[in-house]
Structure 1
Amino acid sequence: MKTLKTTLLALLLTVTYSISKANLPNRSERLTMRYAISAYVDAFTHGKCAGLADVIDDSAKFSHTRGEKIISFSKNEILESLKNQQDVEQNCTTTARIVESTAKLVVYKVQMKYEKFSRINFVTMTDTGNGWKITNVSTVFS
């Protein structure tokens, strides 16, 4: 009886581990441009921040233009502010399209259209050799 319980427990743990790992993209998927932009959009639109820290380069710069004022943020500051928005669904329609693309660099225009204004993010990503990383985000409001 003890052997049966141990075997069932081991089987349950194996199944649980397999299911939890199935929800995470594999390493090669996390290195793609598509995964990086999806992680960005999911974080800022849907409050789903899983994987975002992995696709932002440590030296990334974020800037918001508000009128004539430019406010700059680091990777850590952005990630910290997103903790307060975890699982918060933005009331907007978000589109992402490539504005410019080369073999090693791509610029996406991510537009979040709210009822009375739009937030436009120009997201620059670079192929670092260790996957595509967000290196710069410039945001304007219109």
Structure 2
Amino acid sequence: MDLLTPLETLCRIILRAREMEAQVPAIDPDDAADNVDDFDDEGDQALSALEDELNSGVEEEMRAILDDLADDQLAETLALAWVGRGTYDTSEWDEAFAEASDNDPESAIDELMDMPLLAAYLDAGLAAFDYSCEGVGQND
């Protein structure tokens, strides 16, 4: 399969999706603690090294990247995510692409934005067709 979407663009989507997945919502100190490990000995909220405040800029950039894709490229991106998720096999690519093409662009963008593990699914979808983001965007 030849990609309709530049590999660099797909890799950028994967990168932004990883950034979105790494974000966690800020904890409201007024909320009851679900886990006592979240607080130090004085009952104050402890800082987490993995916590990253939600950055709406990453989500906005991701939505803008997807919005800039042509309809067939957006359908391809959605179909690749479906292949990576296991909804379709590589032998069913034409069917996956046709179904993804039936979505209106806004629905396709919403589905991609709401898809948990989008980065992993796109990465796996690309790998299923022997594409990789390894080395993409790096200067030699």
Q: Which has the higher helix share?
A: 2
- Same fold, TM-score > 0.5, yes or no: no
Larger radius of gyration: 1
Structure ranking higher on relative contact order (CA contacts 8 Å, 6+ apart)? 2
Name the TM-score, length of structure 2 as normaliser: 0.28
